[in-house]
Amino acid sequence: MGSGSSQSADVSGPTQLEDKYYPEWIKNPENIKDLSGKVALITGVSTASGLGFYATKALASKGAQCVITVRNVEKGNAVVAELEAKLKEEGIDAKPIAVMKMDNCDFESIRGFADEFKKQYHRLDIVCNNAGVMGLDVQMTKDGFDIQIQTNHLSHFLMTLRLWPLLKSTAEKHGDVTLTQVSSGASEKGKPTVDASNLNNPHPPHGLLLYLAPYVLGGSTGHWARYGQSKLANVLFANELQRRLKDAGLGDKMKSTSCHPGLAATNLQITTQKGGGMKDGAGYQKGGQSCADGSLPLVMAVAHPTLCEGGAYYGPSEGRTGSPIKTTNENPLAYDEAAAKALWEASEKAVGEEFKLCGQSWFKPDKLCAVTVHRRIRSFLHMGGEGGFGKGGFGDKGKGKGKKGKGKGKGKGKQEEKQWVPMTKLGRLVNDSKINNLEEIYLHSLPIKEPEIIDHFYPPGSLKDEVLKIHPVQKMTSAGQTNRFVCYVLVGDTNGHIGLGSKCAKEVATAIRGGIIAAKLNLIPVRRGFWGNRIGLPHTVPMKVHGKCGSVRARLIPAPRGSGIVGSPVMKKMMAFAGISDCFTCSCGHTRTTANFAKATFEALKATYGYLTPDLWTATRFTNSPFQEFTDYLAQSKKVATY
């Protein structure tokens, strides 16, 4: 029933039980693969009587570079000393185990740890989200959440989010990245449930999975109901992450799993007494198994050569005790996709950050270098004909690119996508993973002249497109009257990026394809903000902005959360594609001209990065552009690439 390692002070030692499976299981090469060269992160290894201690020992014995997290570094160093002594006694020449400070009760500590980890390590292959507390009385963290849901789930969600760029780059370069969430049998007891409609209810009903607001988690449902709900959140998070990995095309390189230790005699159950739960922790442990045996499902979940599978759930063969096996969670809700999605979205709101596996979100306020960023973005958005932005996106540039749409249909298109040969310097840097996100391109005002650059950052289907209008045009020539079609296309990721393009062609299909290409070349960042308090994710425009095209003027005004988009269908569609959910609008001029109305709205969305507000005023940091940083790399090719 216990899981993870406690972050509370020791009360007494756990019951000492015999290790029935651990010693022989980890020595068998068929159970744990070779981990040489891999970096493993294990959270909550603050005691020698926790699951993390024995999991770290097993991973280190197979060659992994292990990093453990603790709240108290001095205590962590003592644990490492004991770990290394045990490994030395067994004649294992393991790599030194590193200790890093991280407090699961403090989101800022999580962010600081993630930043420091990325500075010290250039890869991350294994993540064991093991830290946890159990059955404690109501305690609120400094971030305003119940200590059990924040320690057991929210902090691990935020840590995974912050380490995602490193995890993704490791998967792309080396493959075989695994993340596991340590759950508990309590996720199955009493069948905890989720009701997303009550996430903002100060008095949620019994059985609610979690209440993500500055109130008590689960109301009066008690110690164990809250604990079971937080452990169910671990399984739902693991399963939803696996589904999103598959959708992002990363399922063959990364795996997300979950596990439970059964009834393991860990220090967690003893320290629970101090928090008001488990009055007879030592007596309860006698019906279970040793802490070392309880750690084996965790080891199997990340390091088994054949049984480690994405979306799998691991535990003891007999429920509470036994050798590790792949099993299933008895709670049907653990495999409910709607519940998992609701949890994911609620977790994003709780930590105040969006977790996107592909197409990284635009800069967060704590990452902005204020004046420099806004000056560069403003310059980038007003480049006009260069790179398909501004007027160039709707003029002759679109016509030139349209010729590439001709050919033998879908077969040729797929072949060209697989065999993309970049023709520009920016294309080469993107194709060779020297540039890993769109924000770096926008920050340095680099012109985008190949639509494949945009496709590189978005897996198929993640960048939505929609035809706004198709209208015929006629032209009288010496050969007679010719008919052509002009198509206006909108693309966006509903997460702060939107593009608008047009194309004129003899055939509608050709015009649509050309419009999509022009819109991708015209993709811009849209800054989003808040109306009133900065709670949850940005939902509206950050200030009043306006745009103009022809006689049409469009104005966007911030609106309270829940207002929706008050405007015409064209405006609603464009702001939905940009990821804006609440906005007041006003317009004047000949708004029935769809093309001019769409362009005016597009200019207004561009203007969201036209102003510098006090909340973004931080120290300026100057960095080299990718063209400067990779000058030698670009000079290696014999082919001459253009800008």
Residues marked as catalytic: 227, 231
What are residue 525's DSSP bridge partners?
Answer: 497
3-class secondary structure for 40-102? EEEECCCCCCCHHHHHHHHHHHCCCEEEEEECCHHHHHHHHHHHHHHHHHCCCCCCCCEEEEC
In the block, tokens 């890093």 appear at: 100
In the block, tokens 């980038």 appear at: 380
What are residue 257's DSSP bridge partners?
Answer: 180
Helices 51-61 and 73-89: crossing angle, nearest 10°?
A: 50
Calpha distance 589→595 (Å, rounded):
13
DSSP code, position 264: B
- What lies within 8 Å, CB to CB, of 348 at 6+ separation is 354, 355, 537
Which two structure tokens, joined as six digits, stand for 533?
């308090």
For 636, what's the count of Cα atoms within 13 Å in the CB-facing half-sphere?
6
Calpha distance 141→129 (Å, rounded):
19
26 neighbors 299 (Cβ within 8 angstroms): yes
Calpha distance 310→547 (Å, rounded):
47
Sheet holding 39-43, edge to edge: 98-101, 65-70, 39-43, 126-129, 177-182, 254-259, 313-316, 324-327
315 neighbors 325 (Cβ within 8 angstroms): yes
DSSP code, position 36: T
270 neighbors 133 (Cβ within 8 angstroms): no
Calpha distance 347→318 (Å, rounded):
33
Which two structure tokens, joined as six digits, stand for 13?
């030692």
| Closest residue by Cα to residue 445 from 513, 536, 394, 373 | 373
CB contact burial 441-476 (16+ within 10 A = b; e otherwise): bbbbbbbbbbbbbbebbbeeebbebeebbeeeeeee
121 neighbors 39 (Cβ within 8 angstroms): yes
In the block, tokens 């082919």 appear at: 639
